[in-house]
Amino acid sequence: MAEFVLLSDPRIAALPVKECGEPLVDLRTLPVIRLDHRLADPEGAFAHVRLSVADRLVAAQTQLPRGLRLLVVEGLRPFMLQQRYFAESVAGLRAAHPGWDEDRAWIEASKYVSPPDVAPHVTGGAVDLTLCTEGGIEIPMGTQVNATPPESDEACYTDCAEISEEARGNRHTLGSAMTSVGFVNYPTEWWHWSYGDRYWALVTGARYARYGVGEL
């Protein structure tokens, strides 16, 4: 499997952010985009993304074969929630691997949970999503959304070869639609795509990120 840049890479934190001031959009107001409510929060943050992200999701939907729909699981994630997720991941890894120091646990945790200061979801620029039928039935993608590398034996990695031919084809269909409209993928999570954040800036060669922390 090819090497890839993790969110713990110092080059990402070093990228400047020039907040463009773009508003958040509630995807629940866009019928063309289907939402899953498994991670719904009382404030509805999960359903919000930046305007350009919403526009690109609508455009990506048009690139899919007839009968398939994007199914968005999570967009914006509050900064404090991201902090909690990352701290819990680091603590869990250190408990499971007593020989690891804090730096090793930090790097391993970042394969699945973004360090809060560079997290794409807190900007409103990232979405976790999958594909479903017109009737809302999720199609095979090799793992569930949000499967961790240890529990999936790294089958959650986007380019993992140890999944079925059907799942590989479905990942390719999703990836083709998303990359065609400007999203980039975090390669340890086939479902995670972003635009305008620091990770996007590094991958695309942009001089700076467009989005800082997004707030409802």
d(CA 98, CA 179): 40
Ordered per-residue pLDDT tens for the chain, 216 residues: 456 888 888 999 999 999 999 999 999 999 999 999 999 999 999 999 999 999 999 999 999 999 999 999 999 999 998 899 889 988 988 999 999 998 898 888 887 788 888 999 999 999 999 999 999 999 999 999 999 888 899 999 999 999 999 999 999 999 999 999 999 999 999 999 999 999 999 999 999 999 999 998
| Token duo for residue 205 | 């060669």
User: Crossing angle, helix 79-96 and helix 102-109, to 10 degrees?
Assistant: 120
Please name each of the domains of the chain with its CATH number. Answer: 10-204 (3.30.1380.10)
Helices within the chain (DSSP H only): 10-14, 51-62, 79-96, 102-109, 149-152, 165-179, 198-204
Report residue 193: phi and psi, to 5°.
-135, 145
The pTM assigned to this predicted structure is: 0.91
Residue pair 108/149 in contact by the 8 Å Cβ criterion: no
| Token duo for residue 111 | 């394969």
Nearest to 106 by CA among 98, 97, 115: 115
